[in-house]
Amino acid sequence: MAVRIDQKITGYAVVTPEEKTRQAAAAAAPLPDAANDIVQMHERIERPDVLVGNTYKIKSPLVEHAFYVTINDIVLNPGTEHELRRPFEVFINSKSMEHFQWIVALTRIMSAVFRKGGDVTFLVEEMKAVFDPRGGYYKTGGIYMPSLVAELGSIVEDHLKSIGLLHDPELSAAQRALITEKRRQYEDRGRQGASAASSSSTANHEEDLAITGDGASFPPSASMCHKCNTKALVIMDGCATCLNCGYSKCG
Helix (H/G/I), strand (E/B), else coil: 93: strand
CB atoms within 10 A of CB 222: 23
- Find the helix packing angle between 100-116 and 148-162, rounded to 10°: 30
Average pLDDT, stretch 170-185?
74
pLDDT given at position 193: 63
CA atoms of 244 and 168, how far apart (whole Å): 13
Per-residue pLDDT averaged across 41-61, rounded? 91
> At 106, is the secondary structure helix, strand, or coil?
helix
Where is pLDDT greater, at 158 or 198? 158
User: What's the mean pLDDT in 237-249?
Assistant: 78
Q: What is this structure's pTM?
A: 0.62
**Whole-number Cα distances in Å, 16 to 3, 20, 45:** 19, 6, 21
Round to whole Å and give the CA distance between 166 and 121.
7
Domain boundaries, the chain: 52-162, 173-242
Residue 92 pLDDT > 90: yes
CB-facing half-sphere around the CA of 168: CA atoms within 13 A: 9
Whether the CA torsion 80, 85, 88, 93 is positive or negative: it is: positive
Q: Categorize the per-residue pLDDT at 242 as very low, low, confident or very high, splitting at 50, 70 and 90.
A: confident
Judge whether residue 19 has pLDDT over 90: no
Residue 175 has pLDDT above 90, yes or no: no
What was the pLDDT predicted at 221?
77
Query: Does the pLDDT at position 149 exceed 50?
Result: yes
**What is the percent of the chain where pLDDT is above 90?**
33
Q: What is the pLDDT of residue 75?
A: 93
